[in-house]
Structure 1
Amino acid sequence: MRYTSVLIVLSLFLHMLTPSLLASIIGATHLEQCTQSGDPDVPGGCKTMMVVELTIESGKSTESVTFKNVTLLNKSTGQSMTVMSDVSLSLSKIQASLQGSLVYWSNFPSGLDEYTIFGTDYLVTDSCRDRPDVHTCPTVIDLDTGKQVPYSEGTCCSCGLMPTFGYTQRSRANLKCDLFGSQSAAANCMRMSQLQYQAYKIEPPIVFYTITVTMNYTDVNGYKVSNEYIISPSNPVISAEGIVIKLEGDFSPPQVYRTFESSIFVVPDPKTDPSNPRHSMPMATSSLVLPNGYFTSSSSVCSKIGTGYKAYYTQPNFCMAEAGSCIDGQIDDYWKEDMAKKDASKATQYLLSTFNPDSKLINANGNLMLNIPITTIHNSFLTIKAATDGLTLYINQSPGKILEGTGLETFGAMSNDGILKVVATNNGTLISRYYVFADDCSPGITPMPAQVFTMDPSEIKVLTFKVHTKSTDLSQYHCKVSLTGDDGRVLDWRIVYFNTTATIIKSNNYTDPYDPKVIDTTSKQSCSDVCTNDK
């Protein structure tokens, strides 16, 4: 028996099973699809097809396309028979994410520390030594070569003759320049922290996701059959049982994704300082993304990640400089700065959690990748072709509510420290999709992208928005926060008020040799007439 075409009878149902429907029908149409082979011995054929165009949003959703019966038509006899029944085609898209391959660069200590060993300056001789062969600071050995690390002998600072007889000056170690004092000399030593960070360069990320298609049906013998297929940007089309599903592409995002080409990713090396509590923290909290400019590959450059013993030893005016000079700007400094902001409920700048608290490292077939989930709306465009003549769309819409507790701490104007928190709940009985908008704000607030998410019944969801003002002035602002359903209906709203402090303007602290207020701009005086001669 020869079957030459497939007909799917009755109706096509696109409905949400569990949890919420994150798909939107763009269009559906019937067309007659005909085939021709060019071979007169191979007859062609036509069949009526329904083409459905829809978008699917990432998240914990499952859509189901259900066909009651699938029949095959024998053209020679004109008879048809049912070969499958209760065909269910389920679609589920995982959370879309940015994935960037990591290229190992180097290991860096998390921080640099300076400590002092005090001694006595005996005018003619003193107890401090800083020669490569004889030094007060402990010997630092290069484990690869077994030799002493150059410039690691530290630097001695002493009071000398004049301070001992009453002349005082600022000193790095705050020496006590008393005659025969026990702290009239000091060896200033540098050490690297035991905890090290692995540093990686980040390749331009791609948007990654997969859509799982599960086909369940009952065959002619009454057996239940289940097959699973995967659609992704790298495998965009499947054809199964006469049904063709094609990933056409993605709609443009509401905001540009970060590319990270000017950043370095650093993560604690688990082989170093094993008792350090940072190893037990979530990776999104212990690791950072830092600008390239914070790093150096030269050990002779001060105040960079990568600063070495040479820079510390050879820095100018060593004994007159502030303690700790040249060794700031380390990974620990940026980590502590962001953790202080996080504890104060302010927006962070460097922590990996800044981009998404669920960011993580993944190992894909030996390729280490940074995975940052996309929290903004990400729609994929699909087409489904099937021989059917009906389409029914069902949408879950459960009520929702914004709970008390929505608020915003006071933050500095024109900074990125403002965080608006919205606490919402699904107070219905169905799993549904929701949108939260923070709009209709006072003038001077930079627009914030909407967020989309799903909630189970009684689930509570906490969302955060970064708030940025365009003005540097101290002021009071407000925004309207709205919770809407998938159909656009407003379910709840709140007005959120918050304050900003005036922007702190940072400028160079220079001392001019003249007072500009004494210059009369209406006269012919010049600066040489009124300015001092201080050099």
Structure 2
Amino acid sequence: MGGVFLCILFLFYLFSTLHADLIASSQITNCVLDGSSEDTILNCQKKFVVSLSVDNGQNKTEAVQFTISSATDGNTTLQFVNPWTITLSKSPVAIYYPISYLQTVNADPSEAVIYTRDWIVVSSCQSGAYSDNPTCGWYKDSNGNNIPDSQGFCCSCNLAEYLGISDDQTRAGLTCSFFSGSSSSAHCLRFDDNGWYDIFQIANAQDMYTIDIDISQGGGTNTTVTLSPSTTISSSSSVIARLLGDFSPFQQLPVYSTKYLAVPSSGNPRETDGMDTWMMIDTDLFDLSGTVCNKIGVSFAGFNSEASHCKLLVNSCLGYQIEDYYQSDLQLQKANRIGNYFLSFFGGLYYAETYTSSLTNRFLAFDLTGLQSSVITLTFSADDIRFVTNESPGQIVSAYVEEFEALSKDGRMHVVVVNNGTINAQYEITVTQCSTGIATIQAQEPTLVPRKQTEFIFNIQSENALQKSYQCKVSLLDSQAVLLDYRIVYFNTSATNFQTTAQGGDTSGDSGDDLKSDKHSSCSQACSAFYDIICFLSHKCWKNVFSFLGTIIGIAAGLFILYKLKQHFGMCGLCSKICCGCCGSSSNDKKKKKKKKAKKEKLKREKSVKMKKMKKEKSTKHREETRGKPSDYEKTRGNSSDYSSDSSYTYSSGSEGSYSSYTSGSDYDSSSSEYELEEGRRRRGAMGLSSSEMSLSAQRHTPVYLCFSGAKNTPLYKPGAQFCLIGEIEKTKNNFEFNLEAYPSQTKYLQVSTQRYARLQTPRPIDVELFRMPLNDGQVRKSLTTNPPAMYTCINKPYATKKAKNKK
């Protein structure tokens, strides 16, 4: 048949509306070199190669018929009466996403709180890594070993919180008082026994479809060959079929490799809900190592290692879990809105499995609704070819859009169409000429069976946030792009409801809800201060009231004990008993305090100079106006000039340099200072003056003696030394006052004795201001007398002059 000329005729038979395109045809000479024997034979035949594109969903709707009408060999025409008939059909395209198991996680981990008592130093809460019996207990692995970090952690009140001077929150709302039974807490990670999910990784998409090729010749026996992505070449005795690949579809395939599939584990009550509530969650919301808080998969290590966990709230590490995402989508589903995680919201995804002899392959899959064309080649003996496409009338039955929120993904257009013909046919449904603000809508090309209405849904999305009215044109075209029907659809959108979440909200400064906890939290949250007794009473927090009173009583008892110990041992003795000599450990601080005190006293003295001068002038004037006949004491005493500054002074010192007495060169006759008061009482050597006696002494300007023992504020530093000072009682506005410098002669004495005291008692001389004191204190009154007892030494007794001595 080497010189046969083939006439090729393309005939189109109408089988359905499914679309196929003739890409190319050619007549070639196909030769095969046979190497089965030493004599190589080149066997050549004329073949015709046809390349076709076959769209998805075109089930038995494309047919290519090949007919050999005649062949001419020289002057002879040969007729072929048995034409070849080949029918192509392509199944719907399923997109498969292989899935592989990773691990099982808990959907709703929670934090359990166990309250214990804490005594600042010793706590009953145990959470040591090697503790035999921690407060939370241990989780065990399959071998019975303790799982690390499953013992939880403990939190307790610090000293500032016990004293009520801290404004930090505690994790479990602890009651920070010394007598509270909830001043520490153990925090334990617990898992929901019925809340486990299996987590699967999702691989890249794979196309799954088949193309069946039916081959018959002259009404004889049919032969069928099948092509698929896994079987790309097949042949019969007369036809060789090859699958070359697929054209890229208009709509890109969704990518799910960035998500994990969460499926309820065996025993989970949601296992019976079906795959609609399976969840696809972004991988970055997981941490399957269990070491990161607020990630799906968090475990003991992440829970225990949370930074500053005792200052955070309960469950602060356990947010953003599978249960949270489940409840979020469930609420959207109840509101008839599209969620983000349920499998039912991902456009017709379903679960599929394939089996081999030793393995089960699991997939997520969905049927592709858009166009996808596959390219095949058919190689056969050169004959006439006829290409057939089905077409059939159709109609749009209805089209409408439900009102939806602007900028949301909830807009959906419902279009119902019907094939009014008698054969399967392919149609194209388009949504075009929409108002400004509506995003472009992808067309659909379905194959419809005769006389059956079918609903199609298009996703509608507005591109602005305003409430507005829109319109779109919906058109129905046949396989030859002839317009069969159209509708204008009018619809509205509501304004976008902008919502603020964790970073938004309103506040008026004093509003808010009280935090609630399961135990011991209402009082501690309402009354944060340890000492707020009014708040405790108003909220009926009786336990806090008794704790506060107990604390006050305890502190008072402690201070009383310290006071008694101080009286017994002295301050330094008490310090040495408590901290082994701490009194001498801060000499620098003592020097600083001493300098500061000296400076303060100096300022005080300078401030009182003016006051002393004013009072002295007032006192002198008062004496000159009121003083009558001089008393015996004054006669004996004489004028201040009679006291000589050059008299011989002698003194004797006691042990350790303490001053014991002053004496003059001659004895002083004190008998003249004795007098009888109007009340008839003679006060020789008796201690204590009544108010009337002090008043009479002030009127007569008689001398009195102030008797007391040496102390820190006196000229004598040795404790227990007994001495007296001579002076006068002056009447003030509301009280009496003892004045050391009542007589001019004593002023001169004080000037001399101050110098002697400065030499004797380093580092401080007499400070007369210390003895210019009001006499309203009963203890001071009891120290007054008109004549000092023998055991007291008068350190400022006036010296007798030589004249007085000679007279005596």
Q: Name the TM-score class by shorter chain.
A: 0.7 to 0.9
Looking at structure 2, the residues matched to 94 and 53 of structure 1 have their Cα atoms a distance apart, in angstroms, of: 19
Superposition deviation, residue 476 in structure 1: 4.8
The residue that corresponds to 2:209 in the other structure is: 209
Superposition deviation, residue 5 in structure 1: 8.5
The residue that corresponds to 2:146 in the other structure is: 148
Looking at structure 2, the residues matched to 442 and 103 of structure 1 have their Cα atoms a distance apart, in angstroms, of: 45
Alignment-mate amino acid for residue 273 of structure 2 = M
Looking at structure 1, the residues matched to 249 and 465 of structure 2 have their Cα atoms a distance apart, in angstroms, of: 30
SS in 1 for 2:270: helix
Superposition deviation, residue 461 in structure 1: 3.7
Alignment-mate amino acid for residue 227 of structure 2 = I
Superposition deviation, residue 156 in structure 1: 4.4
Contact 1:482 1:493 in 2 (8 A): yes
Looking at structure 2, the residues matched to 429 and 93 of structure 1 have their Cα atoms a distance apart, in angstroms, of: 22
Q: Please point out which of 258, 270, 277 is paired with 1:278.
A: 270
2:380 matched to 1:381? no
Percent of matched pairs sharing the same residue? 23
Q: Please point out which of 419, 433, 444 is paired with 1:440.
A: 433
Superposition deviation, residue 393 in structure 1: 2.6
2:410 matched to 1:418? yes
Shift in CA distance, 37/232, structure 1 to aligned 2, threshold 3 Å: closer
Alignment-mate amino acid for residue 147 of structure 2 = V
Q: Deviations over 1:349-397 (max 9, x none)?
A: 3334444324324336434444333222112234445543352534132
Looking at structure 1, the residues matched to 273 and 348 of structure 2 have their Cα atoms a distance apart, in angstroms, of: 12
Alignment-mate amino acid for residue 400 of structure 1 = Q
SS in 1 for 2:347: coil
Superposition deviation, residue 14 in structure 1: 3.8
Looking at structure 2, the residues matched to 340 and 467 of structure 1 have their Cα atoms a distance apart, in angstroms, of: 22
Looking at structure 2, the residues matched to 311 and 259 of structure 1 have their Cα atoms a distance apart, in angstroms, of: 31
Alignment-mate amino acid for residue 304 of structure 2 = Y
The residue that corresponds to 2:104 in the other structure is: 107
Larger relative helix fraction: 2
Alignment-mate amino acid for residue 19 of structure 2 = A
Shift in CA distance, 397/288, structure 1 to aligned 2, threshold 3 Å: same
Corresponding pairs, count: 489
Looking at structure 2, the residues matched to 343 and 290 of structure 1 have their Cα atoms a distance apart, in angstroms, of: 20
Q: Please point out which of 250, 253, 262 is paired with 1:257.
A: 253
Bigger relative contact order, structure 1 or 2, given CA contacts below 8 A and separation 6+? 1
Alignment-mate amino acid for residue 386 of structure 2 = L
The residue that corresponds to 2:190 in the other structure is: 191
Q: Deviations over 1:388-422 (max 9, x none)?
A: 33525341324232436x32342352x5x333142
The residue that corresponds to 1:323 in the other structure is: 314
SS in 2 for 1:225: coil
Unpaired stretches in structure 1, ≥5 consecutive residues: 512-535
State the TM-score, normalized to the length of structure 2. Answer: 0.51
Contact 1:399 1:426 in 2 (8 A): yes
Contact 1:4 1:73 in 2 (8 A): no
Looking at structure 1, the residues matched to 184 and 147 of structure 2 have their Cα atoms a distance apart, in angstroms, of: 24
Shift in CA distance, 388/264, structure 1 to aligned 2, threshold 3 Å: same
2:295 matched to 1:304? yes
Looking at structure 2, the residues matched to 94 and 169 of structure 1 have their Cα atoms a distance apart, in angstroms, of: 67
2:473 matched to 1:480? yes
2:484 matched to 1:499? no
Superposition deviation, residue 211 in structure 1: 0.9
Looking at structure 1, the residues matched to 60 and 215 of structure 2 have their Cα atoms a distance apart, in angstroms, of: 12
Superposition deviation, residue 230 in structure 1: 1.3
Superposition deviation, residue 500 in structure 1: 4.6
The residue that corresponds to 2:390 in the other structure is: 395
Q: Deviations over 1:403-448 (max 9, x none)?
A: 36x32342352x5x33314241325254333333333233333323
Alignment-mate amino acid for residue 65 of structure 1 = A
Looking at structure 2, the residues matched to 79 and 458 of structure 1 have their Cα atoms a distance apart, in angstroms, of: 48
Alignment-mate amino acid for residue 403 of structure 1 = S
Q: Deviations over 1:180-235 (max 9, x none)?
A: 7887765433223344333333333333322122335677xxxx634321113454
Contact 2:393 2:421 in 1 (8 A): yes
Alignment-mate amino acid for residue 287 of structure 2 = T
Unpaired stretches in structure 2, ≥5 consecutive residues: 34-38, 506-808
The residue that corresponds to 1:93 in the other structure is: 90
Looking at structure 2, the residues matched to 453 and 226 of structure 1 have their Cα atoms a distance apart, in angstroms, of: 29
Looking at structure 2, the residues matched to 22 and 329 of structure 1 have their Cα atoms a distance apart, in angstroms, of: 48
Superposition deviation, residue 329 in structure 1: 2.0
Bigger Cα displacement from structure 2, 239-248 vs 168-177: 168-177
Shift in CA distance, 403/469, structure 1 to aligned 2, threshold 3 Å: closer
Alignment-mate amino acid for residue 258 of structure 1 = P
Superposition deviation, residue 114 in structure 1: 2.8
Looking at structure 2, the residues matched to 104 and 510 of structure 1 have their Cα atoms a distance apart, in angstroms, of: 39
2:53 matched to 1:55? yes
Contact 1:21 1:432 in 2 (8 A): yes
Shift in CA distance, 11/296, structure 1 to aligned 2, threshold 3 Å: closer
Superposition deviation, residue 240 in structure 1: 3.0
Q: Deviations over 1:241-295 (max 9, x none)?
A: 434444343222113323444x13324264x32xx34322343x23333333222
Shift in CA distance, 440/11, structure 1 to aligned 2, threshold 3 Å: closer
Structural mapping, 1:233-272, within 5 Å: 233-261=229-257, 263-268=258-263, 270=265, 272=266
Alignment-mate amino acid for residue 59 of structure 2 = S
Contact 1:23 1:54 in 2 (8 A): no
The residue that corresponds to 2:449 in the other structure is: 456
Shift in CA distance, 14/305, structure 1 to aligned 2, threshold 3 Å: farther
Contact 1:402 1:492 in 2 (8 A): no
The residue that corresponds to 2:138 in the other structure is: 139
Superposition deviation, residue 302 in structure 1: 0.8
Looking at structure 2, the residues matched to 60 and 439 of structure 1 have their Cα atoms a distance apart, in angstroms, of: 25
Contact 1:12 1:65 in 2 (8 A): no
Shift in CA distance, 432/81, structure 1 to aligned 2, threshold 3 Å: closer
Superposition deviation, residue 298 in structure 1: 3.3
SS in 2 for 1:452: coil
Alignment-mate amino acid for residue 399 of structure 1 = G
Shift in CA distance, 390/230, structure 1 to aligned 2, threshold 3 Å: closer
Looking at structure 1, the residues matched to 125 and 472 of structure 2 have their Cα atoms a distance apart, in angstroms, of: 64
Contact 1:59 1:454 in 2 (8 A): yes
Alignment-mate amino acid for residue 139 of structure 1 = W
Alignment-mate amino acid for residue 444 of structure 1 = G
Looking at structure 1, the residues matched to 290 and 451 of structure 2 have their Cα atoms a distance apart, in angstroms, of: 56
State the TM-score, normalized to the length of structure 1. Answer: 0.74
The residue that corresponds to 1:232 in the other structure is: 228
